[in-house]
Amino acid sequence: MTPLPVMLPVALPDYAAAAAERLDAQARAYFDGGAADELTLAANLQAWRQIGLQSRVLRPMAGAHTRVELLGRTLAHPVLLAPVAYQRLAHPDGEIATAQAAAALQAGMVLSTQSSVPVETVAHIVRRDPESGPLWFQVYIQPDRDFTLALVRRAEAAGCEALVLTVDAPVSGARDRERRAGFRLPPGVRAVHLEGLRLPPAPALRPGQSALFDGLLADMPTWDDVAWLVGQTRLPVLLKGITHPDDAGLARQVGAAGLIVSNHGGRTLDTLPATAELLPRIVAAADGLPVLVDGGIRRGTDVLKALGLGARAVLVGRPQVHALAVAGAQGVAHMLRLLRDELEIAMALTGCRCLAEAASALSPRR
């Protein structure tokens, strides 16, 4: 087990700074980079800072708690671990350590399709603790639909409680930082769930044709494929990557159980608005579907703001791999504890006894 550093981080940015010294250049580029000029990456962070809170004093706080209801479960707090691929780039234990931390801190965890540890192993760790949060499995609809369905069946058999279908990345963004670093997976790190996946052969292109428009996009999923997936599983399916109100409405029509407002951490289309900016419009369009949000969550105050804007819960991505790189399972657990402690402080100082009252903590916008 990796020990915590001598100078214990006191906030999530401390873990980011410490991880920058431990990760090699390629891993840093993969985990920390965004698309193109990384404007959306920066906007995600800045947007939460621009939302103010207002203090309330002398409020009765007996019985205060951070519990939330989500997909039929009562969660101890509203912070989940987002799906992050190839976590063994950050630490030899990878997703094993992340799962141990999530279970210890009663945090929900979304395991990536591109995990470096099998879902069965992660599920075994989570299930050992009856107080642990839920384990969800992230999936992409692959060109080989049978392969996609086989992954779904593995997640079901392992005991996952929901599927998170990522819909905003039919192709990778223009990740300049990764390309400048010459990113390649090192030996021993691989996407274990994608072994055996056969991609369709690349078409022969004439000069002037596009590999994207004349090739790859022909097999990209559509709303019909989402409806197919929803109909193939007993698990609730949440759609991750919703940034437009019209797509929230379409998600309802095809039977989605929830939405995750996400711009993929600024890794796909640069200049997309920050998720904090998008959240209220998606909540309104969701018409009662549970809405979660990720992107730039670094403080407990950010969590309170997100719930005040209508989110049911939040997910954190980069902070988990920063903490993982610094101190393994202990680091991720400590990172989650820091967020929850900050959330409780923010609730106490704004007079919120429960997160259903979070909207009252928001400062009126000018």
Binding residues for FMN: 83-85, 112, 138, 166, 240, 262, 294-298, 317-318
Q: Which of 77, 91, 193, 264 is catalytic?
A: 264
Instruction: Report the half-sphere exposure of 150 (CA within 13 A, side-chain side).
Output: 11
CA distance 325 to 342: 22
> 306-310 long-range contacts, Cβ below 8 Å, gap at least 24?
306/48, 306/276, 306/279, 307/68, 307/78, 307/355, 307/358, 308/358, 308/359, 308/360, 308/361, 308/362, 309/51, 309/276, 309/279, 309/280, 309/283, 309/359, 309/362, 310/279, 310/280, 310/283, 310/284, 310/359
Which helix or strand (DSSP H or E) is residue 138 part of? Answer: strand 135-139
* Beta strand spans in 205-304 (E): 237-242, 258-261, 291-293
- Residue of 90, 66, 104 whose CA lies nearest to 2: 90
Residue 234, Cβ density class (10 Å: 0-12 exposed, 13-18 middle, ≥19 buried): exposed
Q: What is the Rg, in whole angstroms, of the alpha carbon atoms belonging to the chain?
A: 20
How far is Cα 290 from Cα 108, in angstroms, rounded to an integer? 15
210-211-215-219 Cα dihedral, nearest 10 degrees:
-120
The Cβ-side half-sphere exposure at 137, using a 13 Å CA radius, reads 28
Which residues fall in the annotated binding site for glyoxylate?
30, 140, 175, 264, 267
Alpha carbon of residue 144 to chain centroid: 25
> What is residue 94's three-state secondary structure?
coil
What's the one-letter identity of residue 186? Answer: P
Known binding residues: 30, 83-85, 112, 138, 140, 166, 175, 240, 262, 264, 267, 294-298, 317-318
Structure tokens at 114: 């591109």
* Known catalytic membership, residue 264: yes
Task: Report, as residue numbers or ranges, the catalytic residues.
Answer: 264
